Amino acid sequence: MSQNLPLVSIVTPVYNGEAYLAQCIESVLGQTYQNWEYIIVNNCSTDGTLAIAEQYAQREPRIKIHNTRQLLSAVENHNFAVGKMDPASVYCKILHADDWLFPECLERMVDVAASNGSVGIVGSYNLVGNTVRCDGLPYPGAVIPGREAGRLALLGKAYPFYSPSSTMIRADLVRARAHFYDPAKMHADVELMYELLRDQDFGFVHQVLTYIRVHEASETARSAQPLNRILWSNFDLLVRFGPVFLNEAELQSAIRAYENKYYSFLARSLWELRDRKFWRYHEDGLPSLGHPLSYARLLGHALGEAVSQPRRTIARLARGMGLAGARK
């Protein structure tokens, strides 16, 4: 019976994922939908990742292991991994090694995609730590125009593609791209969603189908948070994709709101006495978006923070000076 169902390629690029990989694999084995292949790409791991994957592959022929010849970046590893999909696969399901799927994930997502030929991406609610995410899309509709999904995301009214683990993509759309993810972009996964939503509808399952793990070893925690690259990256997405998904009034309003958010963050950082590397990142980054850093505006926000929140400002300044016992 499963032979008549569309083949789903589940893809897990992994580097040193021994802590959570077994749980990830078990969640694939526990799927109610059975016509799948599971591609695990071991990116020169130095821990027990490969041994764990091989142990499962010995028992389950649908699990296929590939090893990179040299250590790849996270984006390059994803691109390498999707290139290993079976040519017959109809859908591609990225699954990060520290995440896992609820049992009905593939079944529910395939139901939506197979029933609606215009759908290129399918998402669902996620459990991110202890919080349900990816909400905001209208219930009970299963399909929303791609441009409307992009519009809601850029306006902050819905965020239906929190993580690559949260979505399933039609395989022909993956194969049509020279690079699945753009190596030059920090949030290449989100950029991919906006690019596809120009021409593809978005399917959605109003059910929690994926668990997204939050931990300090994640790529976001290690590389993005210290400089708040996420803030810049989201502004970049708004500037580049806003003209595609928003009307002019919506775009200008969204840019004004995001600039205020950006300057409020920089003002707090000013009181925290952030180092030169931090300021150079934002001084160089904002002009590339066509919005050069205004020091007058920054000073205005910093003074506003000090007047409206004097205690928090003093606490931030104390932390920046390294004073013990400073409160948040």
Domain parsing of the chain, residue ranges = 2-215, 226-320
CATH 3.40.50.300: does it fit domain 2-215?
A: no
Q: Which has the minimum average pLDDT: 34-38, 42-46, 260-264, 315-319? A: 315-319
Alpha-carbon span 271 to 320, nearest angstrom: 7
Residue 215: what pLDDT?
Answer: 63
Is 321's pLDDT higher than 90? no
- Per-residue pLDDT, 124: 96
Q: Let me know if 1 is exposed, middle or buried by CB neighbors in 10 A (0-12, 13-18, 19+).
A: exposed
Dig out the tokens for 42 from the structure: 């071991």
pLDDT of the residue at 327: 46
pLDDT at 185: 80
What proportion of the chain, given as a percentage, has pLDDT over 90? 76
The pLDDT of residue 218 is above 60 = no
| pTM of the complete model | 0.88
Asked if the model's pLDDT at residue 316 lies above 90, the reply is no
Which pLDDT score is estimated for 305? 86
Lookup: tokens for 152: 């809601």
Under 8 Å between Cβ of 190 and 121: no
Give the least confident one: 16-25, 184-193, 224-233, 268-277: 224-233
Dist. CA 162–CA 278, nearest whole Å: 26
Q: What is the pLDDT of residue 135?
A: 87
